[in-house]
Every structure is written in structure tokens, then in C-alpha cells.
Amino acid sequence: MAEIAKLMDKLVSLCKRRGFIFPSSEIYGGLNSCYDYGPLGVELKRNVKEYWWKAMVQMRDDIEGLDASILMHPRVWEASGHVANFTDPMVDCKECKARFRADQIEGAMCGSPAYKGRKASKCADENKFTEARLFNLMFKTFMGPVEDAANVVYMRPETAQGIYVNVYNVMQASRQKIPFGIAQIGKAFRNEITPGNFTFRTREFEQMEMQFFVKPGTDMEWFEYWKAQRIAWYDGLGIRKTKLQFHQHGPTELAHYAAAAFDIEYEFPFGWKELEGIHNRTDFDLKRHAEYSGKDLSYFDDATREKFIPYIVETSAGCDRTVLTALIDAYDEDVIEGEARTVLRLAPVIAPIKAGVFPLVKKEGMPEVAEKIFHDLKKHFPVFYDDGGAIGRRYRRMDEAGTPFGITVDGQTLQDQTVTVRERDSLSQTRVAIDKLLPFIQEKMAGYKRMV
Ligand code: GAP
């Protein structure tokens, strides 16, 4: 347990130190569960999103992209069931004043410093909790200057609804036919009762969702197809297979809209937890939007002359949660030549910086050659120039940032126009001609397989 807590502490500290993730509004003491992505974090997050977009939109003929607004007509959330059902049961501890989700008491710890180490279940056994009351997780705000009930709008708690209300706009504009999908990446907001575990559960987060519209009767086939596609995607991201599993939702876990649901779970330091949900949402969503909007949302299949409300198979991944997973999975410590190092074994496709460029010493023309290499490579991918300190320390700094390659310009470079390329994981060092450097690194990146 102490080791696990230590790993999270070390990761949080590395994220702050190296500029991956900072607490929000830190100079004001922070804002609970809100985080900012720093220079390395924003690159990592963009890479995760681009990798998802490429796999889910650009590489496919049957999926279109969308970027819908966060604020939607309030009736959307009545139709979706969120106004009535998007609630968690909440209890307060009368003694320490901490607030818990009534269905997550097991394993929770008392929130107050005065009761540190005390289990919430103990308070439950001693009847210290208030009656459970339902709490709606949607953030509300007002459209326009008048703050009354008529002007209430919600910050979307999922991106999915923006897709459902646009299905026929997209279908007509792109001339797609069923089966086809719509993908979207965007912010979602949930007023979680118990956010925590760093960026695992926050109140503002990004989702990467894809809704696949299919003919009723073919839905379970597509559901299985998408389960297989989605778990394979994490392999490409460099996440170890042994750390991933499916969890099938039992009848009591199923969301109000789902006929079948599987989570892809990752073994976090705090247990197996959901990373992504794959849901068979049946015709629930489009039927409800048809009912609440008064519009006919049925599909006419020209080939079979059939009319039906499409079923929806959804893949819903958390972007921040995927970034956290990538960081946790990549975090490693080892010893090189008697010296401890911290290394992020990030797959090159998501690594914020692909290569560090180092002149061995700041003289004899080495900086000039290194700077030229730096500027040439920069046109192709993010590289970092570092001429400060011993070469070993410069390698370590890049290891900690997850940079897969280190390029060193040394005395030999000036003789034969070659440099040393050091690989972060194998620590192998290869001499490569400067004019072959770009294809060498590109080939290595494309063929990357996690070793440890
Ligand atoms: N449209 C379906 C949907 O939103 P969900 O299981 O509630 O399904 C999907 O959410 C994914 O969004 C989760 O698997 C998780 O990765 C991410 N997610 C949900 N709530 C989150 C939160 N409070 N903080 C960070 N990520 C969250």
C-alpha cells in the first residue's frame, strides 16, 4: 500500500517538476480536482488525441468527425435522461463532515485530517452518516443576464449527445449510409462528489467518443467488433497488455440507456478501474430525441426499403484518464552504471519530445553542428536542444521526460559527419550519418515495441 501511494506521489511530483501537469490556480491554493497541462503535458495530451483521431476518423471510411458545442438546448438533457437519472447517492458524515458517495463507502477513507487513517465504513457502522440523498452531477449555469429557471443551461456531462442531435446533419453532408459512425473529442463536466486519484476522476475532463449507428439486429456483432478494435488501440499506444482487462457490467451496473456494456479497465496503483466504456445503447437515444424534439429520426434504407431507428454502439474513452494511464504505465526506475534513473517509457508516437540533441562540449564547432541538426529535425517532430551539464545528466533529463532518442555530436562527428543515437529503453548507442538521421529515427519510431 505504501509503495503504491509512493508511486502516485512520485508521479505527481514528476508531473509538476517536468511540466506535465500542474494543480490549477496553484498560487491561490489550487482548486480541488482541477489541473492544468504544462508544456510537456499539453504535447502528450495532443498526441493521445491525434492518435485516437487518426485511428477513429482519418484511417476509416465509415466514421466522420464532429465538434459540437458544450452548451446545448436544455431539452437535450431531459431527453437523454440526465436531468432525471444522472445522479449519485450522497451521504455526509455528521462527525468529520466529509462527503461520500453512498455506493462507494467500501475502501473510502475519512476526508478530514483530524480523522486521518479512519475508514469510512467504520463511520457507516457507527451510524454517523446522514440519509442518502440523490445529487445530480450536471453543472448548471444561465444563458444570458437573467438568472432564472427559464434560462438554465447545462455544461454537457458527455459529448455523446452532441453527436446524436447531429446524426442526420452529418449523414446528409457526408453522404454516409448506415452502418457508419461519428467521432468527437471535447470537454465534459461532472460535479463529482468524490473526485480524486490525481487526474483519474475530475470535474472537468475531456472525452474521446465515437457513436456507431447500425441496423437493429446487427448491434451485438458491431459491439463485439468495437470491443476488439478498442482494446487493440491501447496496445498501439504502448500500454502493456497485461495491465488491461474487460469488465462486463452486470444488471445492477448497467446505465439507464445500455443493453450491454463492457469497460476496458487498467490496473492502476489504486486498483483495476475503468479507462473506457463500450456500450450498446440500442435505439434509446434517437427514440428519446425523436420524442422530445418532435422530429422523425428514423432512417430509410434505400437498398432494403426498410425504415428503422438506428441502434447505437458507443466507444467512450476519457482523454485525461488515458494520459494518466500512459504516464503510470510508462513510469519506471532503474540503475545505470550504478546511478539511479527515473524513466518514462512512453511510446514514441505519444512522447512529447522525440529526440534530444546534445553537443558533447560547448566548443570545437560541436554546438554549430548540433544546432543545425536540431533545426533540421524540428521541421519533422519536436526535438529539444540541451548543451548544459554533463552528458549523462542531459540523458537523464530526457529519460524523465520520456524522450526516446538522444543524439550526441562529438569529436568524431567533425571527422566523419556521424553522430551517436542513444535509445532510451535499450540504452544502445548507434553511429548514424547525419544525412541518414531523419529516416533512422522515423524507422525506429514506426517499429517501436515496448521492451520492459
Ligand atoms: N457517453 C458515455 C459516457 O460518458 P462514462 O462511462 O460515464 O460514459 C466514459 O464515461 C469515460 O469518460 C470513462 O471511461 C472515463 O474514461 C471518462 N470519465 C468519466 N467521468 C470522468 C471524470 N469524472 N474524470 C475523468 N474522466 C472521466
Q: Which atom of ligand 1 is nearest to the CA of 322?
A: 16
The answer to whether residue 132 scores a pLDDT higher than 60 is yes
Q: What is the pTM of this model?
A: 0.94
Q: Are 205 and 194 in contact (CB under 8 A)?
A: no
For 238-290, how does the pLDDT look when each residue is reduced to its tens digit (9 = 90+)? 999 999 999 999 998 888 788 999 999 999 999 999 999 999 999 999 999 99
Q: Which residues pair with 312 in a beta bridge?
A: 213
For 404-425, how does the pLDDT look when each residue is reduced to its tens digit (9 = 90+)? 999 999 999 999 999 999 999 9
The answer to whether residue 386 scores a pLDDT higher than 70 is yes
Q: How far is the CA of 221 from the centre of ligand 1 (A)?
A: 24
Q: Are 159 and 68 in contact (CB under 8 A)?
A: yes
State the pLDDT confidence band at 3, using cuts at 50, 70 and 90: low
Q: Rounded to an integer, what distance in angstroms lies between the CA atom of residue 425 and that of residue 8?
A: 22
State the pLDDT confidence band at 4, using cuts at 50, 70 and 90: low
- Protein residue whose Cα sits closest to atom 22 of ligand 1: 201
Q: Rounded to an integer, what distance in angstroms lies between the CA atom of residue 23 and that of residue 10?
A: 15
The set of protein residues with a Cβ atom below 6 angstroms from ligand 1 is 158, 160, 190, 192, 201-202, 205, 207, 209, 274-277, 314, 316-318, 320-321
Q: How far is the CA of 344 from the centre of ligand 1 (A)?
A: 25
DSSP for 317-383 reads EEHHHHHHHHHHHHEEEEEETTEEEEEE---TTT-S-SEEEEESSS-TTHHHHHHHHHHHHHTTS-E
Q: How far is the CA of 205 from the centre of ligand 1 (A)?
A: 8
Q: Rounded to an integer, what distance in angstroms lies between the CA atom of residue 350 and that of residue 269?
A: 22
Q: Does the CA dihedral 389-390-391-395 come out positive or negative?
A: negative
State the pLDDT confidence band at 114, using cuts at 50, 70 and 90: confident
Q: Which atom of ligand 1 is nearest to the CA of 201?
A: 24
pLDDT at 295: 97
Q: How far is the CA of 383 from the centre of ligand 1 (A)?
A: 33
For 175-232, how does the pLDDT look when each residue is reduced to its tens digit (9 = 90+)? 999 999 999 999 999 999 989 999 999 999 999 999 999 999 999 999 999 999 999 9
Q: How far is the CA of 423 from the centre of ligand 1 (A)?
A: 35
